[in-house]
Structure 1
Amino acid sequence: MSFRVGRCLLAERLREAKMTQQELCEKLDMPPSQVSDWVNDVKRMSLGNAKTVAHALRIHIDDLYEWIPVKPTERKRARRRKE
């Protein structure tokens, strides 16, 4: 089974941690615009940033995004469209 990245769940994880975006920015020394872009699904976190955020929130990295199962046949069709 393969997966594709869905919606960012950072806003929900921050609420659960009782932490604001600003507090996360300060904790990680990141610009507020960067965290806002993730929360609003404007940009996706790099793998390194996702690991850093997950560590700061004491959650698993998988908990930062929805993960949508992709059947092997759908994966092959998507790959063909890119070629």
Structure 2
Amino acid sequence: MKYELGACLLALRLSEARMTAEQLAQLLQYKPERLVDYIDNKRVMPLKTAIAIADTLGCRERDLYELKPY
């Protein structure tokens, strides 16, 4: 089955982890603005970034976006 990416779920995952974007950015040594761009759906995170974020938050990479089958 094929999927397209829907909305970014990073804000939800951060809330579940009781963490802010700023805290995550500091842990991963990213600029907070970069994470906010993902949260606001202004940018799609590269796979390498999704792996790092998912590993830090204790979720799967596919849990970071809505997946819409087509």
Structure 2 Cα separation of the partners of residues 42 and 9 of structure 1: 13
Q: TM-score w.r.t. structure 2 length?
A: 0.97
Structure 1 Cα separation of the partners of residues 59 and 8 of structure 2: 14
Q: Which structure 2 residue ranges, 5 or more long, are not aligned?
A: none
Structure 2 Cα separation of the partners of residues 8 and 39 of structure 1: 6
Partner of 1:36: 36
Structure 2 Cα separation of the partners of residues 22 and 9 of structure 1: 16
Which aligned pairs between 1:1-83 and structure 2 lie closer than 5 A?
Answer: 1-70=1-70
Q: Which has the higher helix share?
A: 1
Please identify runs of 4+ aligned residues in structure 1 that moved more than 2 A: none
Q: Which structure 1 residue ranges, 5 or more long, are not aligned?
A: 71-83
Identity rate, percent = 37
Structure 1 position 2, deviation (Å) = 0.8
Q: 1:31-66 deviations in whole A, cap 9, x for unaligned?
A: 011011011111010010001100010101110000
Q: 1:17-40 deviations in whole A, cap 9, x for unaligned?
A: 000011001100000110110111
3-state SS, counterpart of residue 44 of structure 1: coil
Aligned length: 70
User: Which structure: larger Rg?
Assistant: 1
Q: TM-score w.r.t. structure 1 length?
A: 0.82
